[in-house]
Amino acid sequence: MSTSLRETIDRLEREKLLLRINHALSPRYEIPLVIREFENKFALLFENIEGYSNFRIVAGIYGDRYRLSTALGLRENELLQKINEAIRNPEPLKVIAHSFDYTIKDGIDINILPIPTFYEKDKGPYITAGIVIAKDPETSVRNASYHRMTPIGRDLLVVRVVKRDLWHYLQKAQEMGKDLEAAVVIGVDPATAIAGAASVPIDVDELEVASALLEKPLEITKGVTVNIEYPASAEIVLEGRFLVDSMEEEGPFVDITGTYDIIRKQPVFQISAILLRRNPIFHTILPAGIEHKTLMGIPREARIYDSVRGVTIVRDVHLATWGCGWLECIISIEKRHEDEPIDAGLAAFAAHPSLKKVIIVDPDINIRSCEDVYWAVITRAHPIRDYIIIPRGKGSSLDHSGTPRARLIVDATIKGEKTLFKRANIPGSIKAEKIISRIRNSLKLC
């Protein structure tokens, strides 16, 4: 298990999952374009950033389940259960002295960071892998969650805060008439990276969940200008406070669907200190890219897995990459009763209210293959009996197809005579397989 971003990079490089890019590239559009091209296959370390010679940028480190499990030192099939166990059994943290190489408190200028500008109509450069650590102003329970943010002044950022735990803390702080202290950490260990993306009950500290994932106490350090502790191995930290009563326009900016989210008034964060390591590594996440989908999706898949397990035997869960990694979920189950797939679909909606569509399949279907899933839908689902529409539900603010938001369950499991639904097989032969492999090699296919 890696305990820092640097260790994660080393580990991925040893496994040949990381590409170093030495060509000089600008963070404005150029680096995002290269990320979009290659992050499906590799984590990317940009070592030559135009205008920011001391920095490096990393992207795509958690670009798929394999990279994420490799970073966490787990096997892919252990991932969801391990996350659920960690959420159920948070572990204590260890406070250590801070070891940053630079602490900037005077003359703060956020523009020293190589913050990428991704899409053409974006409001500006955006920090997309920043995890905000804050404490409940009443109970002091800590929360860690990702929030996109963009500079609106040298020491000011406007931050997108959905109505979840951080938003709740901000509401309480506002009622008390005081600012909310926080720290934004960029470039952390994989356990913190995944815990920050998980939605846990409001009285659970995500950093303690990271500790449980690590299987040893996560090392945290005290802020120098705020009463907030944060992961000690972070590459970059922005300490500061959300200003009470200060809201500014956030967006336009692209969300997980690949389309522009609407412009809203959002909270403002004022930076009181910037802490950096020597040659800091700035982690960036391409909005709507594969890393965005993996990080947002995996903790939700874990929750869906847990919920559906209550009604049937679950084999696997996938928030489909072709469903924006958020709106469509494929679940393979071993059904024991003809109507269990419908209960499985309902349990999935309960675990992930943003879901729009759930497809339930049998275990013989590869739920990560769009072609396989839609083969099951077209051969095994009846258009009247097996498509269940739920006319109202919370749904996702990113789904613009109409309100009230409706939901769909597709039961694509086999009904009736099983042999009629099984895919035909061609018996293998060692000779034929060897020849196929030779032909592949000669064609340079893997």
Ligand X SMILES: Cc1cc2nc3c(=O)[nH]c(=O)nc-3n(C[C@H](O)[C@H](O)[C@H](O)COP(=O)(O)O)c2cc1C
Q: Which residues are catalytic?
A: 255
268: contact with ligand X by CB under 6 A: no
Q: Which stretch binds ligand X (CB under 6 A): 48-56, 144-152, 267-275, 329-337?
A: 144-152
Window 147-176: contact mask with ligand X (x via CB under 6 A): xx-----------xxx-xxx----------
Q: Which of 2, 4, 69, 145 binds ligand X (CB under 6 A)?
A: 145
The number of residues that bind ligand X (CB under 6 A) is: 18
For ligand X, the closer CB: 26 or 397 = 397
Is position 352 an interface residue for ligand X (rule: CB under 6 A)?
no
Per-residue contact flags (x/-) with ligand X for residues 68 to 107, judged by CB under 6 A: ----------------------------------------
> Is residue 296 at the binding interface for ligand X, with CB under 6 A as the rule?
yes
Shortest gap between Cβ of 256 and ligand X (angstroms)?
8
Residue facing ligand X at closest CB distance = 164
Q: Which of 49, 295 has the CB closer to ligand X? A: 295
In terms of CB distance, is 132 or 311 closer to ligand X? Answer: 132
- Binding of ligand X by 35 (CB under 6 A): no
Stretch that binds ligand X, among 91-99, 102-110, 292-300, 357-365 (CB under 6 A): 292-300
Query: Which is nearer to ligand X, 144 or 330 (by Cβ)?
Result: 144
Least distance from C-beta 157 to ligand X, angstroms?
A: 12
Burial of 17 (0-12, 13-18, 19+ CB in 10 A): buried
Please provide residue 430's backbone torsions phi and psi, each rounded to the nearest 5 degrees: -60, -40
- The contact mask relative to ligand X for 192-231 (x = CB under 6 A, - = no) is -----xxx--------------------------------
Q: Which is nearer to ligand X, 283 or 405 (CB)?
A: 283
In the complex, minimum distance from the CB of residue 431 to ligand X, in angstroms, rounded to a whole number: 48
Question: Which of 25-33, 291-299, 402-410, 422-430 is the region at the interface with ligand X (rule: CB under 6 A)?
Answer: 291-299
Residues of this chain that bind ligand X (CB under 6 A): 143, 145-148, 160-162, 164-166, 197-199, 285, 292, 295-296
